[in-house]
Structure 1
């Protein structure tokens, strides 16, 4: 194998202007085919202290095992590998049967995958090992080549993973509300532009926290923020994180996609009961359409109008109650 050409192609993929996630898969594809392997893949550490198989390429004869390789434990399994990775060393298994003496648990994990040889190399981002790149059953004649080029390949993959993480962070900052973690107004615009035309039905709930100024004035803005977060969490619990949008301040929009009117109204009822139980005063207005023929923002305006009517009733009742009690 021409090692110089191999590395050149890897660099070409890493510098591609295409989608980074797609570029990663292309690199794994190129590696797997060039080294005549059964499978190439990436594992990454997760927040639970284990590792997930995040990307893979498989040959036509291999069964993709990625879905079964999530939350793979470190203790008794990958901890041995990560110890080696921490010393800037890779894992080279030329004969899996011989590896049984080194780590029986890892042998038991690899054997059912029909692995008889394997190479894994650490991926570092900012000098921290975040996971590893692996290749299963490369053709024996390529083993020496793989050993010699994997350090460079691991370095290239580290750069790409860092780029991917930066893109994800920028997207998160652009489309996610920083206080509550739900989506923001810009992402609602994205839904209206790109997705609304493909839905079969839509329910729209406009929700607003009542009395926020009073909460801020009496308990402080931190307490007000906690109430806003509670509203967001309850909306996400009922309508799903992907369909809740903070429009600014204490105003939210929640969408229900492709439900029946009865299902949507049941969700609204569940939400209001949760808010009442947790003593979170909200105003709500909603509308349901069994098709997508009405302009999206006209529906938003109609739900908003009903919400403000509800808010008006709340403040009118509150004012009358204060008059009655003299408070």
Structure 2
């Protein structure tokens, strides 16, 4: 068959690709055997700076690496289409080009004992085409739509995400699926959700506590090179990982992982983490890739919204200087007590007013005063573990404790009171009230407040230099 004559019949930018037929599991050579005029012209296209986009001019029959960087996904597409005779459609945006590729591949029935062939047609665009990105099979769209509906309707994202990730693992026929979140600024990682097929030797990432996945995640960014998905579908792909990322390769081998799908979770340009799928069904690689790529958009969106709501919750209820709960949170908790929404047997309230803040602010500045407030908050939080600690405002703090032994709380309050008499230590005027029968929160607050002012008076009688100046 005259390959050039065949490819010249295409109106779109098209070439014919061949891939070696091998049975030894080694890498298969992929060649571009022929290209029509539009395809060849596109390969010799120059950018705005006059640079040739591809490495060199087109020569029929050369390995594809002469014209572009080695690309595992492209090799997998060629294998699926030419060897396994599956039509392929994909929409990709390589990192190293400033355009997207809308591609279609069709298997060719050419008798050749050494090679299998397929056509490769492409349309280049410098803006992302949402219509093409959403042009997916009905089977994939149904699966992804179910994912979207589950996530959008949930009130418990963690629980629903567990269901979704298990669904995705089953769709992929995989041994493991995981949503791994990363924060490179804090150098931390966490598993948001994962699903492990029962009865396997493979571990969940949660169990690999000795492994720092932040380091692996940084290497994955380089491995992805801007792609929506990296598919390691066979031993030759795994061999390339051994060459380019040997530490990750060693972990994969140790965990008996032979195939991997890796996708970045990105939202408005921010990398949130990754989806990792291992030991998936290689007979369904194209549909798996399609499902994962589209699902990742919805998963990333929901996680970003979840994080935003958590941040708003923190800002609404946390004092930013000390890290304690703030006055808004305190008022909400007191309101719940008054409405009978809190169940308790015993109730304790501790008012703690920080002594000496104004002289510190006046003599050393407000930065020093802020440090004193933070030290005071840290001391209260460490002393009253398991209790709600609030910064009520200014230099005033409140601790609410339910179902705590009176003797334990009295001992902690007394230690704080004694330490407050030692110059150089954080000093509090303390008001303590305990009702072993529960009682009303308003009465507890009133009694503790009165006791605190009595303690404050004793402190200033002993250290008059720290007395606040009254404004007349």
**Interval of TM-score (by shorter of Structure 1 and Structure 2):** 0.7 to 0.9
Paired residue for 2:375, among 230, 233, 251?
A: 230
What is the count of residue pairs matched by the alignment?
321
Is contact 2:359-2:466 (8 Å) kept?
Answer: no
Normalising by structure 1, what TM-score? 0.81
Partner Cα distance (2:270, 2:198) in 1? 34
Paired residue for 2:195, among 32, 57, 81?
A: 57
Paired residue for 1:80, among 219, 241, 246?
A: 219
| Cα distance change on mapping 1:33 and 1:269 into 2, 3 Å | farther
Q: Helix, strand or coil: the match of 1:52?
A: strand
| Cα distance change on mapping 1:156 and 1:251 into 2, 3 Å | same
Indicate whether 1:245 and 2:390 are aligned. Answer: yes
Query: Which of structures 1 and 2 has the larger relative contact order (alpha carbons within 8 angstroms, sep 6+)?
Result: 1
Q: Helix, strand or coil: the match of 1:166?
A: helix
Partner Cα distance (1:53, 1:155) in 2? 18
Normalising by structure 2, what TM-score? 0.59
Partner Cα distance (1:242, 1:84) in 2? 47
| Cα distance change on mapping 1:222 and 1:253 into 2, 3 Å | same
Is contact 1:37-1:137 (8 Å) kept?
Answer: yes
Indicate whether 1:101 and 2:253 are aligned. Answer: no
Structure 1 portions without partners, runs of 5+:
323-327
Q: Helix, strand or coil: the match of 1:294?
A: coil
| Aligned residue in 2 for 1:16 | 153
C-alpha deviation, 1:310, in angstroms: 0.5
Q: Helix, strand or coil: the match of 2:242?
A: coil
| Cα distance change on mapping 1:278 and 1:116 into 2, 3 Å | farther
C-alpha deviation, 1:106, in angstroms: 2.7
| Aligned residue in 2 for 1:315 | 460
| Cα distance change on mapping 1:101 and 1:107 into 2, 3 Å | closer
Give matches, 1:102-121, under 5 Å: 102=243, 103-111=245-253, 113=255, 115-121=257-263
RMSD, aligned α-carbons? 3.4
Structure 2 portions without partners, runs of 5+:
1-137, 468-472
Indicate whether 1:268 and 2:413 are aligned. Answer: yes
| Aligned residue in 2 for 1:181 | 323
Paired residue for 1:147, among 285, 289, 292?
A: 289
1:118-173, CA deviations, whole angstroms, 9 ceiling, x for partnerless residues?
Answer: 21200123323231012233333433212123222222222112211210111011
Partner Cα distance (2:346, 2:306) in 1? 34
Partner Cα distance (2:299, 2:211) in 1? 21
Is contact 1:51-1:70 (8 Å) kept?
Answer: no
> Which has more radius of gyration?
2
Partner Cα distance (2:350, 2:454) in 1? 14
Partner Cα distance (1:109, 1:243) in 2? 43
Indicate whether 1:35 and 2:172 are aligned. Answer: yes
Partner Cα distance (1:280, 1:229) in 2? 10
Indicate whether 1:302 and 2:447 are aligned. Answer: yes
Is contact 1:44-1:132 (8 Å) kept?
Answer: yes
Higher helix share: 1
Task: Tell me whether 296-305 or 15-24 shows the greater mean CA deviation.
Answer: 15-24
Indicate whether 1:206 and 2:351 are aligned. Answer: yes
Is contact 2:349-2:432 (8 Å) kept?
Answer: yes
Task: Tell me whether 58-67 or 19-28 shows the greater mean CA deviation.
Answer: 58-67
Is contact 1:243-1:256 (8 Å) kept?
Answer: yes
Q: Helix, strand or coil: the match of 1:56?
A: strand
Partner Cα distance (1:234, 1:96) in 2? 57
Q: Helix, strand or coil: the match of 1:183?
A: coil
C-alpha deviation, 1:209, in angstroms: 1.1
C-alpha deviation, 1:284, in angstroms: 0.8
1:10-46, CA deviations, whole angstroms, 9 ceiling, x for partnerless residues?
Answer: 3223432534444433432332233343332211113
Task: Tell me whether 150-159 or 100-109 shows the greater mean CA deviation.
Answer: 100-109
